[in-house]
Amino acid sequence: MDCAVFLDVLVCAQHRNIRPDGTCPNNVDCNKFDEVIRVCNRTVFYASPLLQPSALSRAWCLFEIMMTIVYKKKLLVGLSGKDRKGLKALISNDFDRIVTMFSSIKSENAEATHEADRVMIFGWIRDNLGTNGFNKLDDVVSRGMREWMAETSAKFATESEDTDLQTSAGRLLSNLAQFKEAEPYFRRALAIEEAMHELDHPDVAITLNNLASSLKDQGKYDEAEPLLVRALAIMERVHTPDHPNVANTLDNLARLRECQGKYDEAEPFYRRALAIREAIHGPEHSELASTLNHMAILLIDQGKYDEAELLCHRALAIMEVVHGPGHPKVGFSLNMLANVFQGQGKCDEAEPLCRRALSIVEAIHGPDHPEVAMTLNNFARVLLHQGKCDEAEQAYHRALAIREAVHGQDHQDVAITLDNLARLLFHQGKDGEAEHLFRRALAITEAVCGPDHPDVASTLGPLALLLYGQDKFDEAELFYRRTLAIHETTLGPRHPDVASTLNNLARLLEVQGEYDEAEPLSHRALAIIEVIHGPDHPSVAGALNNLARFFYDQGKYDASEPFYRRALAIEEVVHGPDHPEVANTRRNLATSLYGQGKFDAAEPYFRCALAIVEKVHGPDHPEVAGALDNLARLLYGMGKYDEAEQLLIRALAILEEIHGPDHPEVAGTLNNLARFFEGQGKYDEAEPFHRRALAIREVVYGPGH
Amino acid sequence: MSLIIRKLAEISRQKHAGSDTVAVVAPCEEKRLPMLHRGVRLVMLRNLLSDLKELERDDINSGQFLNGIHTKDSATDWKEFSRERDEYSGKACCLHTGLSFVETMVIAGMTNDPNSGEDYFADIDTFVSYTWRGPSASLGALIVSVEDTLSTNGIGVRCDTQHKKFFMSLFHQLLFRFSGGLCGVP
């Protein structure tokens, strides 16, 4: 290659004499590095000694690599002759040391010969890259080095029959989230191993595990499954049943089954892996705690919070003993336990755990690290469930800012936070902002992961729900159908996410009057959830509620009743009799009974629902006003006018107190009161309520509304 | 033998005998060869390396090349620079111009390889990022590495490897996100 290089020792003036005009040629030249890199086609970064490159501790070099990547120039890594000779062996045999080297770049600790240079470069980093500019710089430099190493490994692997080189290339590409590109190297490694050994050689099993991991990362669960089953069979044949490789393969198989939604099949694999790890390491080992944490995730997915809590407590205790209270693994375990508490509705107990986890990762990594962003994401979710929407929003915004600064605008981690923040805004009714963020997240995920990846479906689903709420039915239906297709392909036809999407699509079709198409979808969703979770799981209650509402909305009150009754029975067991969810279902059942004219049967349910919301929210909450209104209508229908009137007057007082006397909600209850008196022939008493309601609506909506 | 260093050192002695440490004041920027035209071609690097070998200093680092073979530390080497101590150091060669090594060569008319006639300099298209001091910082090794890297556009050395297996875990750091929810009940 015919090149002309910039080598500062030759190209820049080195004497520091000052000219009469006050300029110094050395300073002038040194200030042009940025411009030179911008016009160059490439940068050769001299990275010897490879495992601890001196240049990575120099402020100027980090600046130069950064600018190379910012200007999208090719980064070539140059090595000394000794390093070049050892590189292939290093990639093949010491992969983990290479990864450690990449992750140990700390630009904030970089030095420069002249303090003024260091101050200038650090100032530039802060001015141009923001408060977390050092992290961004570390990440960019590390990524540049990893890309070079992945390219180099791939080249070695292509020229070689060495399985370790194939595996290293695959791992490096996976490390860059280039899972599709990694797959051929794992496949080649497997082919070489199979040709070299007998088919049940342990090296074949390990390579099967690696290929399965690559496929799983692409969402190709069905392709990964037989590979892991085969790997486990080999491991069990060639090793003793309590060998670590058996435990590793069981862990991988459990994780895959979990991704497939086959929770029942995942659990025994985790239990066997746990037993092996306990036998090998004893009851207090970090690997055992990791498996406990991951099994807890499975149990959380299944709604088995109590058992998950036990595992998380045990994992946390082990991590604290093994690593000390300030270790990141303790932070992760705290996050896990918080997740369990949140699932149990014990958000007040989850919150301090999240705060402790956050303080640990902030102390270790500083305030602007991706680990902090991940913990903030988790924390925001707890805050949201506590109803602390503003704090949750702040946490998501902080997480988003960190990830955008560290990874750039188009990274998948950014898409995940955008998705979560959009869900929060959607929850708050800020549909416009939410839609914008959902679409941004979707565009990133489609670009990064491809249009059929599970993460695409993860954003399409809530976006469809939002569009449905805006009556944009055509686009919502399109998105739901895409979501369903992706879930069915990647997760199989009997996954909870398939059930969830079926339910939502059914609801959408229902509001468009497509009842015949909607009903089988709802039934299919219920059947899936019953199979996965058993007949008494809260998710089953949710699906039953949906089916009940499906019939109720069509006026088929008698058809809705048995579904509401089943849902209520489940919820009373799961949540206890005084939970808001129970109150809601009681009210729905009562409404169904009311629709059938079964007033006497409906009355205790309405009264019970009222009692619960009064207990949960206090006597002056809007939910109480709604429950009072429901009960008053029933009592009116039963001819119990006096009590009905008292309830409506109380509902009116609550709404006036909360919203003020001129709110549309108040107008609605005034109208109900007017109709109530009209129905009894008390037109004189009805009139003032009509007049007040009319006055409010004229002011709010205008006289021509 | 290209004799770049010896020739520049001789010119410097002749034209700037007054001081072994203080260079002449450089001309104003407008009169200098623009930075982007100071790209060093591989033929010049090869000849420079040949010079270093001939001077038995191909293992020195860039700091020593610039301030003198006797220097050891970037923080102090500029104070220790003196033509009297090392007349073949880079700065000693440029005392009479106050400019860069490349510009000083151009002023001396040393713009082509004496054997092939190839140009020594061209517009810069490749930035080299490296350190002047520290382990593996020899200027000779750097020059060899730059040429090798540019000629292969990567790495291509084969060697035997010890067989070892890696076990990949399917576990990844959890990114907590909401699970898809069911439609709300009325």
**Residues B61-83, mean pLDDT to the nearest whole number:** 89
**pTM, entire model:** 0.65
Look at residue A7 and tell me if it is in a domain. Answer: yes
Q: Give the pLDDT of residue A629.
A: 87
Would you call B31 an interface residue with chain A, using a CB distance cutoff of 8 Å? no
**Residues B45-57, mean pLDDT to the nearest whole number:** 93
Which helix H or strand E contains A117, and what residues bound it?
helix A115-129
Q: Residues A573, A694: one domain?
A: yes
Q: Are A438 and A424 in contact (CB under 8 A)?
A: no
Distance CA A22, CA B10 (A): 30
Look at residue B176 and tell me if it is in a domain. Answer: no
Q: Give the pLDDT of residue A366.
A: 75
Q: Residues A91, A24: one domain?
A: no
| Helices and strands in chain B, H and E counts | 7, 3
| Contacts with B, A 583-622, CB within 8 Å | 584-585, 588, 591
- The whole-angstrom distance between A682's CA and the closest CA on chain B is 32
Which helix H or strand E contains A42, and what residues bound it?
strand A42-46
On chain A, the residues whose CB falls within 8 A of the CB of B90 are 9-10, 14
Which residue has tokens 């902090």? A372
Segment A505-548, tens digit of pLDDT:
998 998 898 999 999 999 999 999 888 888 888 888 988 988 89
Work out the widest C-alpha separation in chain A, in whole angstroms. 105
Look at residue A253 and tell me if it is in a domain. Answer: no
Look at residue A41 and tell me if it is in a domain. Answer: yes
Chain B residue with Cα closest to A457: B180
pLDDT band with cut points at 50, 70 and 90 for residue A14: very high
* Stronger pLDDT, B4 or A302, i.e. the higher one: B4
Q: Residues A543, A665: one domain?
A: yes
Which of B35, B146, B185 lies at the smallest CB-CB distance from A5? Answer: B146
Which helix H or strand E contains A166, and what residues bound it?
helix A163-175
The DSSP symbol for A53 reads -
Would you call A68 an interface residue with chain B, using a CB distance cutoff of 8 Å? yes
Distance CA A481, CA A95 (A): 43
Would you call A639 an interface residue with chain B, using a CB distance cutoff of 8 Å? no
Distance CA B168, CA B150 (A): 34
Percent of chain B at pLDDT exceeding 70? 81
Which helix H or strand E contains A46, and what residues bound it?
strand A42-46
Would you call A138 an interface residue with chain B, using a CB distance cutoff of 8 Å? no
Task: Tell me the three-class secondary structure of A238-292, residue by residue.
Answer: HCCCCCHHHHHHHHHHHHHHHHCCCHHHHHHHHHHHHHHHHHHHCCCCHHHHHHH
Would you call A28 an interface residue with chain B, using a CB distance cutoff of 8 Å? yes
- Cβ <8 Å between B171 and A251: yes
Q: Are A487 and A501 in contact (CB under 8 A)?
A: yes
Total of domains in chain B: 1
Residue A174 has pLDDT above 70, yes or no: yes
Q: Residues A51, A20: one domain?
A: no
- Cβ <8 Å between A501 and B160: no
Tokens coding B53: 């070998």
Q: Give the pLDDT of residue A636.
A: 86
Q: Residues A23, A72: one domain?
A: no
- Cβ <8 Å between A3 and B35: no
Would you call A115 an interface residue with chain B, using a CB distance cutoff of 8 Å? no
Among the ranges A227-236, A249-258, A587-596, A621-630, which has the highest mean pLDDT value? A227-236
**Residues A95-109, mean pLDDT to the nearest whole number:** 78
Percent of chain A at pLDDT exceeding 70? 99
**Residues B22-37, mean pLDDT to the nearest whole number:** 92
pLDDT band with cut points at 50, 70 and 90 for residue B182: very low
Which of B75, B121, B167 lies at the smallest CB-CB distance from A4? Answer: B121
On chain B, the residues whose CB falls within 8 A of the CB of A71 are none
Q: Residues A41, A13: one domain?
A: no
Q: Do strands B126-129 and A42-46 pair parallel, antiparallel, or not at all (unpaired)?
A: parallel
Total of domains in chain A: 3
Look at residue A363 and tell me if it is in a domain. Answer: no
Which of A135, A157, A179 represents a domain boundary (last residue)?
A157
* Stronger pLDDT, A98 or A68, i.e. the higher one: A68
Look at residue A373 and tell me if it is in a domain. Answer: no
- Cβ <8 Å between B146 and A78: yes
Q: Of how many residues is chain B composed?
A: 186
Domain CATH code at residue A583? 1.25.40.10
Percent of chain A at pLDDT exceeding 90? 34
Q: Give the pLDDT of residue A1.
A: 61
pLDDT band with cut points at 50, 70 and 90 for residue A664: confident
Least confident of A178-187, A575-584, A660-669, B154-163: B154-163
Peptide bond into A703 cis (omega under 30): no
- The whole-angstrom distance between A143's CA and the closest CA on chain B is 17
Segment B143-155, tens digit of pLDDT:
999 988 887 754 3
State the residue range of the domain holding A101.
35-157
- Cβ <8 Å between B26 and A17: yes
Find which of A14, A27, A556 to mutate to test the B interface (most B CBs within 10 Å of its CB).
A14
Segment A36-90, tens digit of pLDDT:
999 999 999 898 888 788 888 888 888 888 888 788 888 888 888 888 888 888 8
pLDDT band with cut points at 50, 70 and 90 for residue B163: very low
Average pLDDT, chain A: 87
Look at residue A655 and tell me if it is in a domain. Answer: yes
The DSSP symbol for A366 reads -
Q: Residues A627, A563: one domain?
A: yes
Residue B180 has pLDDT above 50, yes or no: no
- Cβ <8 Å between A92 and B100: no
On chain B, the residues whose CB falls within 8 A of the CB of A83 are 136
Would you call A151 an interface residue with chain B, using a CB distance cutoff of 8 Å? yes
Cross-strand partners of A618 = none
Which residue has tokens 């209520």? A568
- Cβ <8 Å between B122 and A297: no
Look at residue B142 and tell me if it is in a domain. Answer: yes
**Residues A616-644, mean pLDDT to the nearest whole number:** 86
Residue A690 has pLDDT above 90, yes or no: no
Q: Give the pLDDT of residue B185.
A: 22
Q: Residues A575, A638: one domain?
A: yes
Give CA angle at A381 (A379, A386), nearest 5°.
95
Look at residue B14 and tell me if it is in a domain. Answer: yes
Q: Residues A23, A39: one domain?
A: no
Q: Give the pLDDT of residue A132.
A: 65
Q: Give the pLDDT of residue B65.
A: 95
Count chain A–chain B contacts defined by CB atoms under 8 A.
343
Task: Report the SS3 class of residue A197.
Answer: coil
Q: Give the pLDDT of residue A241.
A: 86
Q: Give the pLDDT of residue B165.
A: 36
Distance CA A292, CA A310 (A): 9
**Residues A565-581, mean pLDDT to the nearest whole number:** 87
pLDDT band with cut points at 50, 70 and 90 for residue A233: very high
pLDDT band with cut points at 50, 70 and 90 for residue B186: very low
- The whole-angstrom distance between B147's CA and the closest CA on chain A is 9
Q: Which of A487, A470, A482, A475 is nearest to A524 (CA)?
A: A487
Would you call A333 an interface residue with chain B, using a CB distance cutoff of 8 Å? no
Would you call B98 an interface residue with chain A, using a CB distance cutoff of 8 Å? yes
**Spatial strand order in the sheet of B121-122:** A74-78, A42-46, B126-129, A4-6, B39-41, B121-122
Contacts for A112-121 with beta carbons within 8 Å, 24 or more apart? Answer: A112/A58, A112/A59, A112/A60, A113/B74, A113/B75, A113/B132, A117/A30, A117/A59, A117/A60, A118/A59, A121/A59, A121/A60, A121/A62, A121/A63
On chain A, the residues whose CB falls within 8 A of the CB of B150 are 1, 3, 5, 44, 76
Would you call B106 an interface residue with chain A, using a CB distance cutoff of 8 Å? no
Look at residue A60 and tell me if it is in a domain. Answer: yes
pLDDT band with cut points at 50, 70 and 90 for residue B111: very high
Q: Give the pLDDT of residue B166.
A: 40
State the residue range of the domain holding B11.
4-24+37-152
Phi–psi pair at A263, nearest 5 degrees: -65, -40
Distance CA A370, CA A376 (A): 10
Q: Give the pLDDT of residue B2.
A: 56
| Contacts with A, B 2-21, CB within 8 Å | none
pLDDT band with cut points at 50, 70 and 90 for residue A97: confident
Q: Residues A592, A671: one domain?
A: yes
Segment A406-461, tens digit of pLDDT:
777 888 789 989 999 999 999 888 999 999 999 999 999 888 777 888 789 989 99
Q: Residues A567, A649: one domain?
A: yes
Residue A286 has pLDDT above 50, yes or no: yes
Q: Residues A41, A25: one domain?
A: no
Q: Which residues contact A127 (CB under 8 A, 6 or more apart)?
A: none
Tokens coding A661: 């006397």
Would you call B22 an interface residue with chain A, using a CB distance cutoff of 8 Å? yes
Would you call B163 an interface residue with chain A, using a CB distance cutoff of 8 Å? yes
Q: Give the pLDDT of residue A684.
A: 86
Look at residue B57 and tell me if it is in a domain. Answer: yes
